[in-house]
Amino acid sequence: MKTLMFLACPNRCSTNRFELWNASVYVDSRGRYLEHRAEDGPLYRCVECGSPAMDLGEVPGAMAADREALENPPSQYTCPACEELFTAPRDQNPVVCPSCGQTFPVTDAP
């Protein structure tokens, strides 16, 4: 799912104009636009103050991921072989000890 982009200047400039930093724009011999390529992730800067723009369109997804992590924290396990304490995702079964490599099934505690 593609998120909507909502660019904002960290200095709260009111122009709401942003320049794409890391894109190559290709033109023909008469200067007419042919294509552009944004390298890696696109970077934008505020035209008024030059500050890097922030994409606030990513905020709802990041907040949902944080909420999910808080509601479903990783479980802590003790390895039956080496007694190492470690964490693993709650839905992972069987669990593999990162210290000794022992694999063991887990059951939900009542």
Question: In the structure, what pLDDT confidence band is assigned to residue 110 with cuts at 50, 70 and 90?
Answer: very low
* φ, ψ dihedrals at 104, nearest 5°: -145, 145
**pTM for this prediction:** 0.48
pLDDT above 70 as % of the chain: 92
Q: How many CA atoms within 13 Å lie on the side-chain side of 28?
A: 4
Residue 23 · residue 42 · CB < 8 Å = yes
Residue 15 has pLDDT above 70, yes or no: yes
Q: Which stretch of 14-18, 29-33, 47-51, 71-75 has the lowest confidence by average pLDDT?
A: 71-75
As a whole number of angstroms, the distance between CA 47 and CA 54 comes to: 13
